[in-house]
A and B are shown apart, each in its own frame.
Chain A
Amino acid sequence: MLRIDLEGHFQEKIDREERIEAKDWMPEAYRKTLIRQISQHAHSEIVGMLPEGNWISRAPSLKRKAILLAKIQDEAGHGLYLYSACETLGIDRDELLNELHTGKAKYSSIFNYPALTWADMGAIGWLVDGAAIMNQIPLCRTSYGPYSRAMIRICKEESFHQRQGYEIMLTLSRGSTVQKNMAQDALNRWWWPSIMMFGPNDSDSTHSAQSIKWKIKRFSNDELRQRFIDMTVPQAELIGLKIPDPDLKWNEERKSYDFGKINWDEFWNVVKGNGPCNKQRLRDRVKAHEDGAWVRDAAVAYAEKKRSGRVN
Chain B
Amino acid sequence: MNIHSQHKIDYLLYLADTALILGQRLGEWCGHGPVLEQDIAMTNISLDYIGRSRLLYQYIATLTESDEDRLAFLRDEREFKNVLLAEHPNVDFAYTVARQFLLEAFHFPYYSELKNSSDLQLAAIAEKTVKETAYHLKWSAEWMIRLGDGTEISHQKIQTALNELWSFTGELFDPADYETFMLQESIAPDLNSINKSWKEKVQQVISEATLTMPENQWMQSGGKQGIHTEAMGFILTEMQYMQRSYPGLTW
Contact = CB atoms under 8 A, between A and B. Distances in A.
Interface of A: 46, 49-50, 53, 56-66, 69-70, 72-73, 76-77, 79-80, 83, 118, 168, 171-172, 175-176, 178-179, 284, 287-288, 291-299, 301-302, 305
B149 A49 contact: no
A78 to B, nearest CB: 10
Top 3 closest pairs, chain A to chain B, by CB: A292-B34, A298-B150, A298-B154
A42 to B, nearest CB: 10
A63 B67 CA distance: 12
Given A69-B50, A288-B31, A294-B157, A57 B24 contact: yes
Interface string B41-76: 001101100110110010000000000110011000
Contact of B31 (A50, A176, A301): A50
B207 to A, nearest CB: 16
A73 B44 contact: yes
B36 A80 contact: yes
B250 A295 contact: no
Interface stretch (B124-132, B185-193, B238-246): B238-246
A100 to B, nearest CB: 12
Contacts of B27: 56-57, 65, 69
A183 B24 CA distance: 26
B239 A295 contact: no
Given A46-B36, A57-B239, A66 B47 contact: yes
Given A46-B36, A73-B43, A299 B238 contact: no
Given A56-B27, A58-B241, A301 B36 contact: no
B218 interface: no
B242 A58 contact: yes
A76 B50 CA distance: 19
Interface size, B (range): 35 or more
A13 to B, nearest CB: 33
B221 to A, nearest CB: 26
B174 interface: no
A298 B147 contact: yes
A302 B36 contact: no
A295 B34 contact: yes
Contact of A297 (B36, B57, B154, B246): B154
B89 interface: no
Contacts of B77: none
Contacts of B242: 58-60, 118
A66 to B, nearest CB: 5
Nearest to B46: A69
A65 B50 CA distance: 8
A257 to B, nearest CB: 31
